[in-house]
Chain A
Amino acid sequence: EDKVVQSPLSLVVHEGDTVTLNCSYEVTNFRSLLWYKQEKKAPTFLFMLTSSGIEKKSGRLSSILDKKELFSILNITATQTGDSAVYLCAVVNNAGNMLTFGGGTRLMVKP
């Protein structure tokens, strides 16, 4: 059974701080790892990672995958209050396009 564990469960920081969110996984026949941001309802897609060591970047957010150690990190620099959300990590195996999600990290950015 595929498994995804995210840490920390929750995090409170102040604007301008840099945060690192962690995602470790166990999956049979790994295909990809995805990060989503969930503010109120619909999780919105951030990154898809398939190869080790290649950083994906979008503005202040970046993510990297380590397929040997089976983890990924999501970095957010110069955090803003609008970054407050639950960040979800999910893995996909080669059996199909079904995601297994972690429990999420709840980030709160205070002014």
Chain B
Amino acid sequence: ETGVTQTPRHLVMGMTNKKSLKCEQHLGHNAMYWYKQSAKKPLELMFVYSLEERVENNSVPSRFSPECPNSSHLFLHLHTLQPEDSALYLCASSQEDRNSPLHFGNGTRLTVT
């Protein structure tokens, strides 16, 4: 148990579907992150919510939309995805002002058909 819980664990969706990934952290952290892990590529940062402010990577397509209703919950809304978006999506949290390491969830394995 990492203290960061992601659901669902696996998701298969068509290109016209709309789905959401959920992340919840029980560590009292104030920053949350979405990372994408594709085969043979380094972990890529997608979005950061830090002290309730969103810091965004500009290269993320608009078909990915994050939502952070509070410091414990983070969502990634998906719509009209492409097959190349198939990957492992990892959520992480940290305590922003203590230079603490990231704690990762187990990820959602997404397959876009």
Contacts and interface: CB of A to CB of B under 8 A. Distances in A.
Interface in B35-67: 40-43, 45, 48, 50, 55
Given A42-B90, A44-B2, A97 B50 contact: yes
Interface residues of A, number: 25
B106 A41 contact: yes
Interface in A71-107: 88, 90, 92, 96-104
Interface of A: 4, 31-32, 34, 36, 40-45, 48, 50, 88, 90, 92, 96-104
A43 B33 CA distance: 14
Contacts of A98: 33, 45, 48, 55
Q: Interface range on chain B: under 10, 10 to 19, 20 to 34, or 35 or more? A: 20 to 34
A88 B35 CA distance: 14
B45 A97 contact: no
Please name the 8 residue pairs, one residue from A and one from B, whose CB atoms are nearest each other, closest first.
A41-B106, A101-B43, A42-B104, A45-B101, A101-B42, A42-B106, A103-B42, A41-B107
Contacts of A42: 2, 4, 90, 104-107
The CB with the most chain A CB atoms within 10 A, among B4, B101, B102, is that of B101
Given A31-B99, A42-B105, A102-B42, A96 B55 contact: yes
